[in-house]
Structure 1
Amino acid sequence: MQKTQSNVVTSLRQMILDGELKAGARLAEIPTSEKLGVSRTPVRIAFRALEQEGLLTKLPRRGYEVRSVSNEEIIGAIEVRGVLEGLAARQAAERGLSENHQKALRLLLEEGDRILAVDKLTESDLEHYQQMNKRFHDIVIEAAHNPAIHAALSRNEHLPFASASALAFDKAHMLRETKRFEFAHMQHHHVYHAMVNGLGSRAEGIMREHANATLGYINSPRNADQLTVISERDTKNT
């Protein structure tokens, strides 16, 4: 199957997460495109995206370098995102969701349910889940009607794995990853229910846990020796 642009970004992100691309490693378009079996254009775009995420540094002349990322930097960025998204969910619940926001979130919940209605997810399924997940988070932020939250999240998303769109997954254990994303989507359902029913504190708590669950993934034994160069965005799971 030919890799999409999202596949290329996710593949490179996961290679960093797994330590296959170590801190200080230099990346160039041609060898990377040959390794992934794609043209140079999606690789070039992926490099820029990962630079924005804080995982790569553009070199003065040509190419990029994998950044060394500390555990503290990752944890701090994720905790900040949890606080900001939790605040957004609480304010959205207290203001009351508009009919348009309710409808959009319901459709995304249904889309997520369809994606996860399989025994084991594929890479294509996870690409679709990523798109659904990002839109769900975007609508929660939008529904808060608080420009300061949006601005603060925009700044925070330049840190490694602090963005809801920074998806990574373990291809060698897709059944386990399926369970991980099922849990994450269950949290989507719960936060929607809380917001619709005006339960601001509950919505805030769920959304914060939804982000902070990532910390369990980062601190798991599987990833314990990779923390000089990585990160992702959830587990307990999100």
Structure 2
Amino acid sequence: MTPKSLPERNVTQSVKAVLGIRELVFSGEVMPGERLSEITISERLGLSRTPVRAALARLEQEGILEMIPSGGYAVRSFSEADIGDAIELRGVLEGTAARLAAERGVVPSRLASLNGLMDELDRIVGKPAAEIDFPAYIARNQEFHEALKSLCGSDMIRREIDRVTSLPFSDPSAFLEVQAEIPQCQVSLIIAQSQHRAILNAIEMRQGGRAEALAREHARLARQNLDYVIENKKLIRKVPGLFLVTG
């Protein structure tokens, strides 16, 4: 093994460990309060203990796990207020990203590409509710938010948005999977899409304050969907990680 390939292997194993443990937590295979054993996880994921140990520490920093007095880590539980705060924080960070993008400017070719994306989203949400292609909407919505966090050119802001959205219920697409079961779902999608266009327009017009306010308001749509899902318990299992809410 060459010196160059060794770090690449270590990075790959570390990423596998993080993704594997996240899946165990968010799929419900390990429950809130349950202790995570390095040995058991290593065996289950087919990885050595070193990347597993590093992944556990990273997920504790992200807030998914918590250290326990006897040593090691346990799966965290969350309150509804925790989730609301995470969504609000995403809105603050995306708002900052939108404002800086407007103030710093975005190259015309990038704006043209995003306006093309807006046209695709318009076509999706413009269909009758029963004909809306939700997988396509989720993919295009994710594409918009991925672009938004990078438009201002700040790696620091992008990393912080990635950190807060590492909790699946604070991700921009968190509640889209259950939209079809929410009354007036098409209305919600149309509102969200109008906000997408308004955010992009504000960035294009170099209106930083307006772009920031719109992005923050846009995130609050997720909070409305959260409230509906919490009230309708049968939907909780359809939102990854939401069963971690204990009150």
User: What interval of TM-score do these two structures reach, taking the shorter chain for normalisation?
Assistant: 0.5 to 0.7
Unpaired segments ≥5 residues, structure 1: 1-47, 232-238
Q: CA deviation at 1:165?
A: 3.5
Q: Which residue does the alignment assign to 1:100?
A: 109
Q: Which residue in 1 is equivalent to 2:158?
A: 150
The alpha carbon displacement at 1:54 in A equals 6.3
Whether the 8 Å CA contact 2:105–2:206 is kept in 1: the answer is: yes
| Among candidates 191, 204, 214, match of residue 206 of structure 1 | 214
Distance 1:73 1:55, change over 3 A: farther
Show CA shifts across 1:63-83 (max 9, x none): 8xx974321221121111111
C-alpha distance 208-172 of structure 1, shift in aligned 2 (>3 A): closer
Equivalent pair of 1:50/1:56 in contact (CA under 8 Å): no
TM-score by length of 1: 0.65
Aligned to 1:141: 149
Identity in percent: 30
Alignment of 1:39-50 (within 5 A): none
Which amino acid is 2:113 matched to?
A
Is the deviation greater in 198-207 or in 134-143?
A: 134-143
2:82 corresponds to: 73
Alpha-carbon contact 2:121-2:193 (below 8 Å) kept: yes
Identify if the C-alpha distance between structure 1 residues 175 and 219 changes in structure 2 by more than 3 Å, giving closer, same or farther.
closer
Residues 91 and 219 in structure 2, CA contact (< 8 A), matched pair in contact too:
yes
2:128 aligned counterpart, secondary structure: coil
Say if 2:149 and 2:161, in contact at 8 Å, map to a contact too: no
Whole-angstrom distance in 1 between the partners of 2:144 and 2:174: 14
Structure 2: segments with no counterpart, 5+ residues: 1-18, 31-35, 45-74
Moved more, 95-104 or 180-189: 95-104
Cα deviation, residue 171, structure 1: 6.5
Contact kept, 8 Å, 1:55 with 1:69, in 2: the verdict is: no
CA contact (8 A) 1:74 1:160 kept: no
- Deviating runs (4+, > 6 A) in structure 1? none
Alignment pair present for 1:223 and 2:194 = no
The higher relative CO (CA closer than 8 Å, separation ≥ 6) is in 1
Residue number in structure 2 paired with 1:89: 98
Match of 1:187 in 2: 195
Q: Provide the C-alpha distance between the structure 1 equivalents of 2:175 and 2:209, rounded to a whole number of angstroms.
A: 27
Match of 1:162 among 152, 170, 173: 170
Q: Which moved more, 1:199-208 or 1:51-60?
A: 51-60
1:218 Cα deviation after fit: 2.0
- CA distance in structure 2 between the partners assigned to 1:50 and 1:171 by the alignment: 27
User: What amino acid maps onto 2:201 in structure 1?
Assistant: H
Give the Cα separation in 1 of the matches to 2:106 and 2:180: 40
**For 2:221 and 2:77, how far apart are their aligned partners in 1?**
23
Q: CA RMSD in A?
A: 3.4
Instruction: Give the CA deviation at 1:99.
Output: 1.2
Deviation at 1:186, TM superposition (A): 0.6
Cα distance change of structure 1 residues 189 and 171 upon mapping to structure 2, 3 Å threshold:
closer
